[in-house]
Structures are given as structure tokens and as C-alpha cells.
Amino acid sequence: MPLRLIESLTTTESLAEAFSDISVLQAMLDFEVALARAEAELKIIPRSAARTIAKLARAGNFDVAALARETLRAGTPGIPVAKALRKKVQRIDDTSADFVHWGATSQDVSDSALVLVLRKCAAILDADLNRLEAALLELIARHKDTVMLGRTLLQPAPPITLGLKAAGWLGSVRRGHARLSSAFSDVLVLELGGASGTLAALGKRGIDVGERVAKKLNLRYPDAPWHTHRDRLAALVCACGILTGSIGKIARDMSLLMQAEIGELSEPGGSGRGGSSTMPQKRNPIASSITLAAANRVPGLVAAFLSGMVQEHERAVGGMQAEWTTVASVIQSTGLAIASMAEVAEGLTVNRKRMEENLESTRGTVFAEKAALLLSREVGRERAHLLLEQATDPQQPHHRTLSEILAQQPEMQGQISPKVLNRLEDPQDYLGVARQFSDRLCGPPKRRLRRRK
């Protein structure tokens, strides 16, 4: 399914297809088929009726536009879909038509269809997350010793490595991936409760039917229907919100490091990628922009879902109707953020020379902490801090480095040896346990809960 122009910056093609009219409609019809077959096996409805229902339950046989118009009047898509299926069956076998949607209610159809669509999305998001994690691991391995400026409050700070920075990205993505996998695992459960959640229309066979329907759809069967209990969906939406925020943080870092004044990283280019309609020289951080847009959009959607969790009794007024587009938007935005950053990580250009130049441009001032620690042993911590403040004053001549300034100050004579001063601005000598932290973050990911396929 081609992307709609208005959705082109909010989803990927695969996720747009998962939430397409045909996909959603087929999921609803799959529920109806599974219900009919389960009931036929238990001799609640005739086997011939189940065969006829299964034969006709193909999304291509239906007028989607007409169903959409009728949904607006019915308040739920389950009603017009069941009605349309019943009419098609009636044309072949009037008796079989009576057994379409037997014992179910419209929200059973809608909720179960949503869960089936979410299962498709789980596989899509999982694949792109695996791509992103693999690309970050490769980036870390290549740049485990690539030194760059640390930056705190957007100002230069003591050096770090690109490997450690990317390992931090990887750690947050892995944690988010684990949360998302767990949430998807929990949400893939059948909804079948009938009119008010008791399956009374099926007599004492309700659980038997439900278990068989769940098995046919490869879903778990819950302890009881969940018409107005939306906590599983809420957990999934929240997991998406956290993960999108983590990926947005990567995009923020990358876009800042792409600024011309910094120039340490570059997104992959290509025809039509990152250009400007008026400035030919521009190489814009397009994937980062799309990711940041998703990270800005998702928190409001998460809040909207959570505010709709307070639903009345056994069937809410407007609750389910509010959720469909919210869940779809959250999943698609999250998926777009993941796919965009995976593409960037796979084709990222690293400019080591600019990293070195940016570090050198600080004239050693980022090593003031190191110098203060050395001096404090001789003159005390407060005095050392004051001396370093003076030495790193912006009014100091720009052509001198910190070690040169310290070497010329009378109070420094004899306090720090020339040998130590000569090594003061060696970044490799002030990386602490950066490599160990990076290695810890790159260890095997924590075991994720397995999802049903």
C-alpha cells in the first residue's frame, strides 16, 4: 500500500500496510472465521455454516468505503462488518447466515482485530530494532578508542570516546526493546466476552469456545474478557513512549554533532536526501528530524491513551473509539523513529579529524579538572580550583594552552613537574573507565520474553 502524502512523515510503508483498511478488515474477518470454526467443532453451529463463512471472509470481497461510512453511524466497525459478512453468506445459504458472529459482540471483533494487527507490527518493530542494535554495535567496535569532546550543558567537557557515547545509545535502545517485547507479549490476547462479558449466549461453553478461537488465531486466552480493562494496551503504549524518547535522544545528539560548526558526524546522503530547496550546500539531518518529530508527537498520544483508561462498567462510551487512532499513531511513530535511526546508524560518517580539531580548539581547558586534582595535593582543593579558574579565564590569550599558562604562573613553579604538564592535555590519559563502561553496555542483552508468532 502506497503511503498517503499526509502520513509520509509519520509512518513507514510496512506499518502503513499493517494499519491499512484491508489489513484491519481482514483481521476482523479472521476473528469471525476463527469463531465460526471453533463453534462448529463444538457443534454449537453447523460445520457447513463455518465453511461458508470462511469461504467468503476475504477483505477483497467487501466495499471498504461503504463499511467506513457505516462505521461512523454504528460507532464501531464490528457492527457493519458482521452485517456485511452476514449478507454475503445469506446470498449462498440463508440458514448459515444466522450463525455469523454467533455469541460475540462488536467490541470482541474490534479488539481482537487490533491485537492481530499489533502482532504484525511487533515483528516489524523487532526487525528494525535488531538492525539498529547491530549497527550501533558495529559503530562501537570501530570507534571504541575514537576520542571526542564530552559536552555538558552544550559546553566542552573532559574527553570521552565515540564508542562510549554510542554504547550509551545502545544501552537505552536495548532496555526499551526489552520493555517493548514484554508489552507486546502481554497484549497479544484474545477478546471474546459477548454482550456484557459473560458469554451467556454460549451457555456453559463460553470458555471452550474462547480457548479454541484463541488457539486458531495463535493468541493467548485471558482469564476473563477485558472490554474496559485497557492496562495491557496502556503498557504497550507507554513502552513505545519510552523507547521513542530514547531514540529521540540519539537523534538529538546526532543532529547537534552534524552542525557545520561541529561537523563530527554526518547522516548518509543520496539522491534527494538532506538537501534544501533553496540552498544547494545544505546537508540536513533528515532522519534525525523525522525521529525528533516522532519523539515530540508520541508523549501527547501516550497521555491521551492513559486519560481514556477510566472506562465505565462493562462497555465504555467512547473509550474504544478514542483508542484506535491513538494506538495506530503511537505504533507507527515509534516504528518510523526506529527505522530512521537504524538507517542512520548503518550509514553514519564519522569525521575523526574534526573530533581532534574540536578537542584541540579548547586549548586544553577541558583538562582543568585533571589539573585541579593534581594541584590540590600541593596547595589544597579550594586554592587549586581558584588558580584553575584564573588560568581558564576567557580573557587569557587565545594562542596559549592551559599547560603553557600554568607553566608560566609563579604559583605553579615547582607544584607540577614539567613532565606532568607535558602530558596534561593528552586525552588518552584522562578517559577513566570509558572502555569498561562501553564493554559493560555492549554485553549480551538481557533475555527478552518470547512473543507468540
Catalytic center residues: 276, 315
Based on DSSP, count helices (H) and strands (E) in the chain, helices before strands: 18, 4
Cα separation of 47 and 253, whole Å?
60
Which DSSP state fits 150? E
Phi then psi for residue 254, to 5 deg, are -65, -45
DSSP assignment of 139-192 equals: HHHHTTT-EEEEEETTEEEEEEEHHHHHHHHHHHHHHHHHHHHHHHHHH-B---
Cα separation of 318 and 200, whole Å?
24
Which DSSP state fits 230? -
Cα separation of 149 and 95, whole Å?
76
Q: Where are the alpha helices (DSSP H) in 348-380?
A: 352-360, 368-379
Cα separation of 253 and 155, whole Å?
13
Amino acid at 243: L
Q: Quick check: 295 and 336 in contact, CB under 8 A?
A: no
Residue 397 backbone zone (phi > 0: left; psi -120 to 50: alpha; other: beta): beta
Phi then psi for residue 194, to 5 deg, are 75, -165
Distances from the Cα of 362 to the Cα of 200, 390, 398, angstroms: 75, 15, 9
Grid coordinates representing 280?
544547494
The residue among 133, 180, 108 whose CA lies nearest residue 451 is 180
Phi then psi for residue 414, to 5 deg, are 80, -10
Q: DSSP strand E in 192-331: where? A: 265-266
Which DSSP state fits 220? B
Cα separation of 446 and 453, whole Å?
20
Exposure string (b/e) for 256-285, b if CB count within 10 Å is 16 or more?
bbbeeebebbbbeeeeeebbeeeeeeeeeb
The residue among 339, 350, 347 whose CA lies nearest residue 132 is 339
The residue among 197, 186, 191 whose CA lies nearest residue 210 is 191
Neighbours of 373 (CB within 10 A): 13
